[in-house]
Amino acid sequence: MTMIFTRRIILTPKQVVNVFDLGYLGVETDFPHQISSIPNRKERNLQSSVEQKEFNRGHAKKRMVIEHTICRLKKYRIIADIFRNNLRK
Give pLDDT tens digits for 19-55: 888 888 888 888 787 888 888 888 888 888 899 889 9
Q: Pairing relation of β-strands 36-37 and 18-19?
A: parallel
48, 56 in Cβ contact below 8 A? yes
11 has a pLDDT exceeding 80: no
| Domains in the chain: boundaries | 1-38, 40-82
- Longest C-alpha distance within the chain, in Å? 60
Opening angle at CA 19, ends 16 and 20, nearest 5: 140
When the pLDDT of each residue in the chain is averaged and rounded to a whole number, the result is 81
Burial class (CB in 10 A: 0-12, 13-18, 19+), 48: middle
